[in-house]
Amino acid sequence: MTLRKSDILTAIVLIVLPIAAFFGFFQPRLSYIAHMKEDQRAYRIKLRDSETLQSQSYAARTRTAKMRAMLASYLGQAAGGADAFKAVDAIVQKAQENSVQIELIKPGTPVEGRVLDGLPILVTTSSQFTALHGFLKSVETGNMLITVRSLDIEADENGGCKARIELRINYEAPADRGRKA
């Protein structure tokens, strides 16, 4: 059996054509599919992270609402409760504005004075030093009379700081208490 030129050409075409089709047509499609799979994996990770952040945000809002309700109940019972609650709310807002994370707010026992009553508040925070400075400055210079009674600052391992701040919210004493001149 002798091979003719046309048989050899047919064999070459039958071998080369699938190889050329693979490299010319299918291989780019395969790399596109692989790229799309990577994108899909990345989107799934982002979706999972987004869902985690969403659940953490919901939990934080729930804890904040409970804390505000408890604080409102406590401060509502104290003399000057409405003013004290507004002041605590202002403290929380100023912390958020200055990127200071409040870890604890604990009201103390109300203090009665001749002209001003006060409510001690213990606040523990974590933030950067500059953010803490901005927070303290905005608290003391705000439209409510809030003073810093003591401040303990400790550097943390991330280059920020943790602070224990004792504030005093001052408000006008009731007129019926009988101020002495």
Percent of the chain exceeding pLDDT 90 equals 25
Average pLDDT, the chain: 81
Mean pLDDT score, 105-132: 85
3.40.50.300, 3.30.70.60, 1.10.1740.10, 3.30.70.3280: which CATH number matches 79-177? 3.30.70.60
- In this model, does residue 122 exceed pLDDT 60? yes
Mean pLDDT score, 49-77: 78
Chain mean position to CA 73 = 26
Spatial neighbors of 153 by CB under 8 A, at least 6 apart, are 129, 132, 161, 162, 163
Q: Three-state SS string across 63-99, please? A: HHHHHHHHHHHHHHHCCCHHHHHHHHHHHHHHHHHCC
Q: What is the pLDDT of residue 181?
A: 45
In the chain, where the domains are located: 1-77, 79-177
What is the pTM for the complete model shown? 0.54
What's the farthest any 2 CA atoms get from each other in the chain? 132
Nearest to 166 by CA among 153, 155, 151, 146: 151
Mean pLDDT score, 75-97: 73
**23-57 pLDDT, tens digit each:** 777 777 778 888 899 999 999 999 999 999 898 88
- In this model, does residue 115 exceed pLDDT 70? yes
